[in-house]
Amino acid sequence: MYFEQFYLGCLAHASYMLASEGEGVVVDPQRDVEMYLTAAEQHGVTIRHVFETHLHADFVSGHRELAARTGAKIYIGAEAEATFPHVPVHDGFELTVGELSLRVLATPGHTPESICLVITDHEKSGLPWGVLTGDTLFLGDVGRPDLSKKCTPPQLAGMLYDSLHDHLLKLADDVLVYPAHGAGSLCGRNMRAERSSTIGTERLTNYALQVKSKEEFVTQLTSHLQARPEYFLQDAEINRTGAAALSDLPALRAIEPAELKIMLENGETALDVRPGEEFAAGHVPGSVNIALSGQFATWAGTVLGLKAHPVLIAGSEQELSEARIRLARVGIEELDGHLSGGVAAWKEAGLSLSTIRQVTATGLSEQIGMRHLQVLDVRREPEWEAGHIETAVWWPLDNFKVSPPEIDRDAPFAVHCKGGYRSMIACSLLQRAGFHNVTNVVGGFDAWQQAKLPVVREKPVGA
């Protein structure tokens, strides 16, 4: 058996290819499919089958393009009501590929159509070797139950409890577990960083599998759900029909600085993908910074949305190309172009640059004590509850697309997250919204703790 996991760090997404006797299967492919074709050629494999464990909400899948380029069949749970050519599968469906067998477990809960794939390598044993769990079972967590238009979160959570206990936990302890996501994904809230586990390990260590009653499980899963980005349901609909090939995307138009200035004055969006330090040192006024170094695509989808058609600002052609692909992975495809020559060309055209002040954690502590300086914490709720700066105001970055925080636009304030990535995004959005006295905290809350500065641990009002 050939088996390979492909891990995409930007989206914390794992996809898989397995094969036997030259016949291959790809499970949960990412939007850009070239890597699967390259791996298949290297291993002498012909891709004949593509499985989707569910309609993914956090990224756009490449199943349609992969099938078109290989002639493979696509398999997905019947409840998905997919509109592209596919084989609808139900519980117990089995596919034989050489010496491999893939058996479908219907595991509704994360979504109504969710399935898992039990893999048996008959060359070695007649017993299951592993299970591809999609977003049903993660390492240390389970899938969030609020990604369906048909079912309520309590209904889905109840289904998920049954799926876990009636199907997955009936597998032997030594069966390997390979999920579709890892730590950092918004499809769960407590995932570990490892890339695989076993049923036995999850049975002993996964908090969700320790809950004995269905009622308590539903309560735990539906309490304090993380904010669901608006684009999640939109991506699921794109995946229901199947996305077009990346090669169909038109070339980006080069935009001169004078034209971009007019576009920005008319309310258009410019997305600067350079590192945060470079953005802080000088950027096009009103541009938004989401650096390629972090979870770029997730945050672009969250704070800009799929209807955004930004002008890209990058430091190189390589950055432009990477940004284009990563935006397409979450469904942001209609871009207005890119700033020809980047920030250097803007400056050469005699146009002014904006900057963002930066402060260290120690410097922030001193300024809080010396003068009135508001602190804005843009981390997520579990991070805030685990510890925060006593005087801080909490407004998670996930909420910025809805509205900016209710603070004085002219008062001085410093913004922090965990390590500095999200806070620079927030600073750029605040500056764009007319906040005039914004400072970014270098190193974020991690740096604050490393400096052994005081931390408050208590739940915010309403939590």
Q: What is the mean pLDDT of residues 338-354?
A: 98
Assess whether pLDDT exceeds 60 at residue 461: no
Q: What is the CATH number of domain 249-348?
A: 3.40.250.10
Alpha-carbon distance of 52 to 15, in angstroms, equals 10
Enter the tokens of residue 204.
């002993």
The CATH architecture assigned to 2-241 reads 4-Layer Sandwich (3.60)
Each as own residue / partner, the long-range contacts of residues 168-173 (CB below 8 Å, 24 or more positions apart, any chain) are 168/105, 168/107, 168/116, 168/131, 168/133, 168/136, 168/137, 168/199, 169/199, 169/203, 169/209, 171/118, 171/128, 171/131, 171/199, 172/127, 172/128, 172/199, 172/200, 173/198, 173/199, 173/200, 173/203
Antiparallel, parallel or unpaired: β 270-272 and 311-313 = parallel
Tell me the pLDDT band of 133, cut-offs 50, 70 and 90. Answer: very high
pTM of the model: 0.93
Closest to 113 in 3D by CA, of 59, 57, 154: 57
To the nearest whole number, what is the mean pLDDT of the chain?
95
The CATH architecture assigned to 357-450 reads 3-Layer(aba) Sandwich (3.40)
Write down the pLDDT at residue 48.
Answer: 98
Closest to 230 in 3D by CA, of 327, 310, 324, 303: 303
Alpha-carbon distance of 228 to 142, in angstroms, equals 16
Q: Where in the chain is the domain with CATH 3.40.250.10?
A: 249-348, 357-450
Closest to 289 in 3D by CA, of 171, 428, 189: 428
Rg (CA), the chain: 24
Write down the pLDDT at residue 411.
Answer: 87
Q: Is 413 helix (H, G, I), strand (E, B) or coil?
A: strand
DSSP string computed for 260-312: HHHHHHTT--EEE-S-HHHHHHSB-TT-EE--TTSSHHHHHHHHT-TT--PEE
* pLDDT tens digits, one per residue of 422-460: 999 999 999 999 998 999 999 999 999 999 999 998 654
Assess whether pLDDT exceeds 90 at residue 369: no
Q: What is the mean pLDDT of residues 345-360?
A: 97
* pLDDT tens digits, one per residue of 40-85: 999 999 999 999 999 999 999 999 999 999 999 999 999 999 999 9
Q: Percent of the chain scored above 70 by pLDDT?
A: 98
Enter the tokens of residue 55.
């309609």
Alpha-carbon distance of 134 to 105, in angstroms, equals 11
Q: Is 40 helix (H, G, I), strand (E, B) or coil?
A: helix
Assess whether pLDDT exceeds 70 at residue 371: no
Residue 374 DSSP code: E
Write down the pLDDT at residue 459.
Answer: 54
The angle that helices 214-222 and 153-166 make with each other, rounded to 10 degrees, is 130
Enter the tokens of residue 458.
């208590």
* pLDDT tens digits, one per residue of 166-201: 999 999 999 999 999 999 898 888 899 999 999 999
* pLDDT tens digits, one per residue of 266-317: 999 999 999 999 999 999 999 999 999 989 999 999 999 999 999 999 999 9
* Number of residues in the chain: 463
